[in-house]
Structures are given as structure tokens and as C-alpha cells.
Amino acid sequence: MYKGYTCGKDSRKRVRNIELKSIEKIKKYLNHNEIKKILHSWSWIFSYILRYKGQVIAFSLIGLISTGLGLFTSWVLKDLIDSVTGEISMKIAPVAAVYLGTAIAKIFITALTNRVSLKIRLNVGIKIKNDVYDKLMNTEWTAISAFHSADIMTRTGADVGIVSNMVLSYIPNVVTALVNFIGAFFIILHYDPLMALIALAGAPITVLTAKFRFGKATEFQIKNRELAGERLAIEEESYQNLQTIKSFGLVDLFSQRFREFQQKGYGVAMEQNRYQNQMMIVMSLMGQLVTYSCYGFALYRLWKGDITYGTLSLFMSMAASLTGSFSSVVSLVPSFIRAGISAGRVLDVLELPTEKTELTEYEKQFIDKSKNKKLTLVCKDITCAYNDDAVVYKNSSLTAQSGKITALIGASGKGKTSTLRLFLGLMKPKSGSISVTNEDGDRIELSAATRKLFSYVPQNNTVFSGTIAENLRLVKPDATDEELIKVLRDACAWEFVSKLPETINTKITERGQCFSDGQNQRLSIARALLADTPILLLDEATSALDVETEEEVISNILTYNRNKMIILTSHKPSVFNLSDSIYSVSENGIVLLDRKDTHYE
């Protein structure tokens, strides 16, 4: 008895050890980074499924009705065949009418399903894309700039499209596939339990190979999404820089690079195709074996007289339905993976830090009365850095005032543009403070929320597709044509705009390629003037203008608003002569220069 107890205890201990090892294996499997990320991504997808649960439930019910009609049609067909062959004493006409009516109803339900699903899918897709777009536009600039624009477009385009389809269709697909599988199985089980077991013979192989197929599907999906982003990046940069590529005779080089990338994509596609074909052959052979085994067994039962011709038809139909629905259930796993990976790629950018752009009541009041007040911008002991390894400068100070021009000079890449980004809240100082004080002594710290104090003309071309008027009205939608013409005159842009056939209603091509760099700069300056903010930031904004035009533009800006604070960056000595104070920006910091310094005379 004692031995028996010991053996029983040891046996239970061994079983317990096996259970613990199995649990550890499962935990190790589930803790795989990609699986954890996919599950996390699906929690985000489910937040949208819950938001649209009414539509999802409605779509599921329509799918269930369609599936039920399909199973019912097969049952009615059995009775129709048995009625024709005289196996059952039922009138043929009523059974045929039911069969025909069911088939017609299924056609209309399918059409309704397609219509409703498209409407819901479009609405859901639009909502998700709007949410993603809004979130990205409010993401911190330093965080989002780490991604290539083409990669962002792939994530917010194709990846969001995959996710929006899953929001509507995944649960209905799961429900209908399971109901179809269970329904077909129990219909076969009702007539012949052995036939039901034969029909499920391939299930163990499918389950046993699931882990391998899961891993390969994940691998190929990640590769394909990354390749899509890379391809868009190559094409976008090629088309945007076509003038430079042609000018340097680099067409052949870029064409070769594109061909090499295409070859890379070809290799991945062929590798994926080989794997898919291998799986298709294995699964198809298994499916054919199961299907023909069912057919053979059914014919054997018919030959023995155990079943009718109608039952034979039902068996064949249900066996095919069982195999098809089981394949549908299995295919939900790759769909789950594909959607999870796409959602993860979208979440990579959605989970970036968001800018805080809400103003306090005090800040609102400060900005509202700032147009009529003289302001002073003060940088005190600021350290500018993109990260710990990319420090631009340390412990620097600067002062700029309304009605005066402050120039920032220095070699390229030394921090002039970065300083303007600090003012705009696109970057945050690692230490120190940046504030604006008015003549009443009121003071606010600069941040992303205080951008309404600034107008900004960046180095690069920033005109958008549309008309000249539409570009200008971006900053003041209710501006009259007269106001547009005035700012164009002040920016010395009216002289060429007035000569255009449609003047301010002239269409601007992509990136303003229909105009010269100087003309685009003047249009950007005109837009900044129309915004009529107390502080104007000009980042190499007059670099393409001749000295005479440059001086006229600067003079017009000050005439436009005597209280306007102008902070500009430039390499041109002519700008220094117009400036009230000049600061040198370098890795050593921001240093106020003596205007008598002959180096800048």
C-alpha cells in the first residue's frame, strides 16, 4: 500500500513535471516578440471592432443567414433527389419550389451582403484613416521625422486598408466559417458518424503544421510590408529629385538601383511562392485524399443500399463544405497575422509622443493682445540637442525684440534652423528656457501650443498644389482678393503674379516647379505676411533673391507692421547690414557679435 502510494505520488509528480514543461514551452512560444506585438496590435483593432459592434453584428447575422441557406439548400436537394427517385413519398413540385426559392434568396442575400459590406467597410476605413492622419499630424516633429515619408504613406495607406477590412470582416468570417463547419459536420454526423470522422481526417495534420505556417506567414508579411515602404521611398525620391538626377546624368544609376530593388522583391516573391506551393501541394493532396475517401465510402454505402441517392448527394456536398469551411477556419490564422503586422506598423507611428497644443487661458489672452504689444523673445542658457549623442550647442542665450531684425549666422549644420525649430516648439531645449514677454511684463514659455505667435518661411520650397490664392488663404481663409494682392506686393511677388493669365487663380504645379526658387520664396513670404503674426521667422528665405529685391522685401515687411519681430538666418552680408543685432551660431553656442566686426562688414 505504501509502495502503491509512492508510485502514485511519483506518477502524479511526473505528470505535473510534464505539465509544467508544457506550460513553459507554451509561455516561451507566446512570449516571442512578434507574437506579443501581434496580440498587442489586435487589442487596437478590437477597439475599433467594439466601436462598430453594431455593424459587425449586422454583417455577422447576414453571413449566418447566407450560410444557413447554403446548408438548407443542400438538405432540400437531398429530398428533391429522393423524391425524383421515389425513395421518399414527397411531391416533387413543392420540394423543387423550396429549393429554387432558397437558391434565389441566397443570390439576393449575397448581393445585399456585398452592398452593405462595401458601405460599412468604406465608412470604417475613412474613420480609421482620419484618426490615423489626425494623430500623425499632431505627433511630435522630432519623433515622426525619424520615419521616411514614403514609409509613413505605406503605413497609413496599405496597412490601414488591411486593418479597416479586418475590423468589419474578421469576426463575421470567424462566425460564418465556424457555423458552416459545425453545421456540415453535424449533418454528416446525423446520417453517418463514421463518415464524419473520415471527413475530419486531415484536421490533425493541419493543426500540427500550424506553428510552422504561422512563423512563415509572419516572416513573409513583414518582408512584404517593408519592401512596399522601400519601393515607395525609391519612387518618391526619384520623382521629386528628377531635375537633379537628370542634371548630374544619374538616370542610369537610379534605373539600375530600381532594377536591383525590383530583383530583390522578385526574390522574396518567388521564395514566398515556393513556400505557398509546397503548402498548397501538401494541403491539397490531403484534402483530395479526404474528399475521395468520403466519396468512396459514400458510394460503398450506396452500393450496399444503406443510403439513398439523395443522401449520397448530401454527403458529397457536406464533405466539400466541411473541407472548405475547415480551410476557411485555418486561413483565418494568416489573416490574423497579416492584420496584426499591419496594425503593428500603424501603431509604431501612432504610439509616438503627441504634441501638447492646447493653450491655457492665460496663454490665449497673451496671444490675443500680442499684436498690439511690443514683445521680447528671450533664450536663457538653452541647450539644443536632437538626442544625447547629437548636441548642437550648450548653455546659450539670445534676445530679440519687436520692430527689430535679429540675424543668426553661421556655417551650415551648426544650429541656425534648429534654433528656429526651438522657437516653434518643433524641438524642446534639453535645458534652459525660451520665453516671450510683452511690454506689460506678462510672460509665457514657448511650446508647440504658442505657434500662433509666429509666421515661418522655411529654407525649402513650401508652396502646395492648388492656386496661388488657395496657397495664401491657408493661413487666412476669409482673406479678400485685395488683401492677397497687398501681401503679394509687399513680398515683391505681384510683379510676376500680375503677368500670369489667371493672376492669383493660377494653378501651382507640384512643389512649385512652374516658378523659380526666388518666386516661390516670395510667395511663401506673402503667405507669412498674410498670417500677420507678431513674430516672423525667415530661414534663408531670401537666399534666391537679388540684393535689391531682398532689401525691398525686408523694408516692406517692417512697413507692413512696425511692431513685427523678425528673426532670420542667412549667409548673405546684405542681410547683416539690415539687421539690428547679429548672433553667431556654432557648436560653441550662440554669441552676440559686435557690428563693427570687419568679418561681417
Express each pLDDT in 89-130 by its tens digit: 566 777 678 778 877 887 888 888 788 778 877 887 888 888
H helical segments located in 384-516: 416-424, 468-472, 481-490, 494-497
C-alpha cell at 534: 507678431
pLDDT more than 70, % of the chain: 87
Mean pLDDT of 65-75: 80
pLDDT computed for residue 11 by the predictor: 41
As a residue count, the chain comes to 601
Q: How far is CA 339 from CA 44, 53, 67, 120, 403, in A?
A: 11, 18, 25, 18, 56
Q: Give per-residue burial for 387-418: e unless 16+ CB within 10 Å, then b.
A: eeeeebbbebbbebbbebbbbbbbeeebbbbb
pLDDT computed for residue 412 by the predictor: 83
Mean pLDDT of 342-371: 88
Strands 405-409 and 581-586 turn out to be parallel
Per-residue pLDDT band for 207 (boundaries 50, 70, 90) equals low
Per-residue pLDDT band for 370 (boundaries 50, 70, 90) equals confident
pLDDT computed for residue 62 by the predictor: 82
pLDDT reading at 471 higher than 70 = yes
Q: Where are the domains of the chain?
A: 32-55+123-350, 361-600
Q: How far is CA 136 from CA 153, 231, 343, 480, 535, in A?
A: 11, 22, 15, 32, 27
pLDDT reading at 595 higher than 70 = no
Mean pLDDT of 281-289: 74
Yes or no: is domain 32-55+123-350 CATH 3.40.190.290? no
| Rg of the chain taking only CA atoms, in angstroms | 35
Q: What is the mean pLDDT of the chain?
A: 80
pLDDT reading at 465 higher than 50 = yes
DSSP 449: G
* C-alpha 601: how far from chain center: 51
pLDDT reading at 266 higher than 60 = yes
pLDDT computed for residue 408 by the predictor: 92
pLDDT computed for residue 80 by the predictor: 74
C-alpha cell at 351: 504610439
Burial class (CB in 10 A: 0-12, 13-18, 19+), 264: middle
Task: Give the long-range contacts of residues 146-151, CB within 8 A, separation 24 or more.
Answer: 147/349, 148/229, 148/233, 149/233, 149/236, 150/229, 150/230, 150/232, 150/233, 150/234, 150/235, 150/236, 150/237, 151/229, 151/232, 151/233
Give the torsion sign (CA, 189, 193, 194, 198).
Answer: positive
Q: Which residues contact 570 (CB under 8 A, 6 or more apart)?
A: 407, 408, 409, 538, 540, 542, 543, 576
Mean pLDDT of 402-427: 90
C-alpha cell at 249: 546624368
The three-state secondary structure class of 454 is strand
pLDDT reading at 590 higher than 80 = yes
pLDDT reading at 399 higher than 90 = yes
Which of these ranges, 5-14, 202-211, 589-598, has the smallest mean pLDDT? 5-14
Which of these ranges, 75-84, 309-318, 340-349, 592-601, has the smallest mean pLDDT? 592-601
Q: Report the C-alpha gap between 505 and 490 in whole angstroms.
A: 19
DSSP 358: P
pLDDT computed for residue 244 by the predictor: 62
Per-residue pLDDT band for 420 (boundaries 50, 70, 90) equals very high
Per-residue pLDDT band for 231 (boundaries 50, 70, 90) equals confident
C-alpha cell at 30: 507566446
| First vs last C-alpha separation in the chain | 108
pLDDT computed for residue 435 by the predictor: 94
C-alpha cell at 337: 497575422
pLDDT reading at 77 higher than 60 = yes
Per-residue pLDDT band for 536 (boundaries 50, 70, 90) equals very high
DSSP 158: I
Write the single-letter amino acid at 360. Answer: T
Per-residue pLDDT band for 13 (boundaries 50, 70, 90) equals very low
pLDDT computed for residue 88 by the predictor: 61
pLDDT computed for residue 24 by the predictor: 47
pLDDT reading at 5 higher than 50 = no
Q: Per-residue pLDDT tens for 512-524?
A: 677 888 888 889 9
C-alpha cell at 114: 456585398
Q: Dihedral through CA 348, CA 353, CA 357, CA 358, nearest 10?
A: 110
Q: What is the CATH number of domain 361-600?
A: 3.40.50.300
Q: Per-residue pLDDT tens for 20-38?
A: 444 344 344 444 566 777 8
Contact (CB, 8 A) for 155 and 229 = yes
pLDDT reading at 504 higher than 80 = yes
pLDDT reading at 86 higher than 70 = no
